[in-house]
Structure 1
Amino acid sequence: MKGFLKKNWSNVLFFTFLALLIIPQTRMPIQVFVQRLISFSPSEKTEAERETLQDYQWNLQLLNGKSVDFSKSKGKVVVVNFWATWCPPCVAEMPSFQKLYDSYGERVDFYFVTSEDSEKVHKFLQKNEYTLPVFIQQYKAPKQLESQALPTTYLISKTGEIVIDEEGAADWNSKKMRALLETLLSE
């Protein structure tokens, strides 16, 4: 047996890893870990690629049931993130978003938008000690903010330009992102 393991250790390790991916209780943490390893700073669109958000009419609901109109963010720097608690890349990027929100929450409007049940989302936030402003989507997002992928994040300038349109997990607390936010806030 010892000789078998010595010769086939990589195969044993590979099949053990596969088995862990099949088990639901271990699959999500492994996927989140891998997503965090491969997350990079989000990519800024070139000036020529940027669209300007035309429609700010969008009603959202806070977890406490209070209604919020997205149009209150017109003229401000805004981060909109579409996510779900069951989505490994979404969960992977949440710690970096929390750090970014802790630093910029007073100067940037953050919208973490989900279609999930508010009680489930509340438990997730509480368990992970997140203080992010989460909204339940009740109506379709403005056309330019529609996406079929989770997570999808948009960074919008004060003039409504969509500066970042990122699908998949990213490191939102990177130096590059912070420098971009500082630039947008000073405009």
Structure 2
Amino acid sequence: MKFEKKKISNIIFVIILVLFFIPNTRGMMQIFLTRIFSFSPSIVEVEERKKVATYDWKLHGVNTPSINFDTARDKVVLINYWATWCPPCIAEMPSLQKLYNDYQDKVVFLFVTTDDDPELNKFMKNKNYNYPIYRSLSEHPKPFISKTIPATYLIDKKGNIIIDKVGAADWNTTKVRETIDSLLNQ
């Protein structure tokens, strides 16, 4: 029996829909589709860039020493707000881990969450991630007050926000790496 291309694509579509309604596969499907449709984040136009309002922000280190954001002044910084229960956050984490692996000695990475330690430890161990996780101990500096996660900011040495991305993105791209390299050379 010969299947037409249209029938095959309809069957695949129905299977994907069914998988979304099965609780155990819904999260995996969301992560899978988010990874497929995640692209490199856009760079903010120079005239539209916001600046970090203050560097006074206390952060509790979960798997790393606690810091004050003031230590990141005059450095290139990547801040990512995320959670272990958030499918778009989970979808972008492999690309952020790869970026962290290559730039951890040159860029200040701040992965900020409100999750509890047991969930964090289990998530990090299961995924083999080793990026530094923090919890905010004081008010977040403006303009980092986003109620949506994931939210990621790339900041230059002068405190200008070069990338302001809400939602999942592919962070391990040539475009992002060239942008970081350019910021490090300024």
Q: Judge same fold: TM > 0.5, yes or no.
A: yes
Partner of 2:71: 72
Partner of 2:182: 183
Secondary structure, aligned partner of 2:48 = coil
Secondary structure, aligned partner of 1:145 = coil
Partner of 1:98: 97
Aligned CA RMSD, in angstroms, stands at 2.3
Partner of 2:38: 39
Partner of 1:17: 16
Q: Which residues of structure 2 form unaligned runs of 5+? A: none
Partner of 1:122: 121
Shift in Å, 1:15 = 3.9
Q: Which moved more, 1:123-132 or 1:135-144?
A: 135-144
Q: CA 1:9 to 1:101, structure 2 compared with 1: closer, same or farther past 3 Å?
A: closer
> Percent of aligned pairs with the same residue?
45
Looking at structure 1, the residues matched to 26 and 148 of structure 2 have their Cα atoms a distance apart, in angstroms, of 20
Shift in Å, 1:18 = 2.4
Shift in Å, 1:172 = 0.5
8 Å CA contact retained: 1:118, 1:136:
no
1:26-78 CA-partner distances (Å, limit 9, x unpaired)? 11111111011011111101110111112011111111484321111011000
Q: CA 1:186 to 1:12, structure 2 compared with 1: closer, same or farther past 3 Å?
A: closer
Partner of 2:27: 28
TM-score by length of 2: 0.91
Shift in Å, 1:139 = 2.9
Q: CA 1:171 to 1:66, structure 2 compared with 1: closer, same or farther past 3 Å?
A: same
8 Å CA contact retained: 1:115, 1:138:
no
Looking at structure 2, the residues matched to 40 and 81 of structure 1 have their Cα atoms a distance apart, in angstroms, of 16
1:103-137 CA-partner distances (Å, limit 9, x unpaired)? 00000000010011122111101100001111122
Looking at structure 2, the residues matched to 81 and 171 of structure 1 have their Cα atoms a distance apart, in angstroms, of 13
Shift in Å, 1:138 = 3.2
TM-score by length of 1: 0.91
8 Å CA contact retained: 2:57, 2:136:
no
The ranges of structure 1 where at least 4 consecutive aligned residues each deviate by more than 3 angstroms after the TM superposition are 7-16
Q: Which residues of structure 1 form unaligned runs of 5+? A: none
Looking at structure 2, the residues matched to 163 and 11 of structure 1 have their Cα atoms a distance apart, in angstroms, of 42
Partner of 1:132: 131
